[in-house]
Amino acid sequence: MSMAYEEYMKQVAKPMREELTSAGFSELLTPEDVDAYMEKAEGTTLVVVNSVCGCAAGLARPAVNESLKGDVIPDHLVTVFAGQDREATAAMRDYFKGYEPSSPSIALLSGKDVVHFIPREDIEDEDLENIARALKAAYNSHCKNQA
């Protein structure tokens, strides 16, 4: 890929990154970031595999942000960006045992274990409110942290 294309894609992705980081998500940009985070992972973590890809990504980010307005939320919020931070995304997906790679996708972890997973096919063509409702139900089942 040309450097011009890479720079263009970074600029395209910037507001998509900020949509999550402004809501409190920490970006994991390298495999080392992912492994360092996962080595010490305690409590619950919401992981968003962010993406530029069409309507699913356009639904995932707002749905996630809406889901965090509830009374019970995960202890930690992290994100990797598929297609941008490829190695970090691959490293995070290694922790999603039994789940096919999907972009975007949303995983709720308890420690290092996936306790709830929403793949792309359950995001696209879904209502934002239904995605947020499913996430809130997962938080209520697995999280103890009060907002």
Assigned domain for 14 exists: no
Predicted confidence (pLDDT) at residue 2 exceeds the cutoff of 90: no
Name the band, by pLDDT with cuts 50, 70 and 90, for residue 74: very high
Say whether pLDDT at 145 is over 80: no
CATH number for the domain harbouring residue 106: 3.40.30.10
**Range(s) of the domain holding residue 86:** 25-138
Tally of structural domains, the chain: 1
What is the per-residue pLDDT for 5?
Answer: 85
Mark whether 53 is an active-site residue: yes
Which is catalytic among the residues 8, 15, 42, 55?
Answer: 55
Please indicate, yes or no, if residue 78 is contained in any of the structural domains. yes
Q: pLDDT by residue (tens digit) across 88-117?
A: 999 999 999 999 999 999 999 999 999 999
| Residue 6: predicted pLDDT | 84
Task: Please say if the pLDDT value at position 1 is more than 70.
Answer: no
What's the pTM?
0.94
pLDDT of residue 143 exceeding 90 = yes
17 assigned to some structural domain: no
**Does residue 57 contact residue 130 with C-beta atoms inside 8 Å?**
no
The whole-chain average pLDDT of the chain stands at 94
Q: Does some domain include residue 97?
A: yes
Residue 56 falls within a domain, yes or no? yes
pLDDT of residue 54: 77
Give me the catalytic one of 52, 53, 72, 114: 53
Q: Would the pLDDT of 147 be above 80?
A: no
Do residues 49 and 104 make contact, with C-beta atoms less than 8 angstroms apart? yes
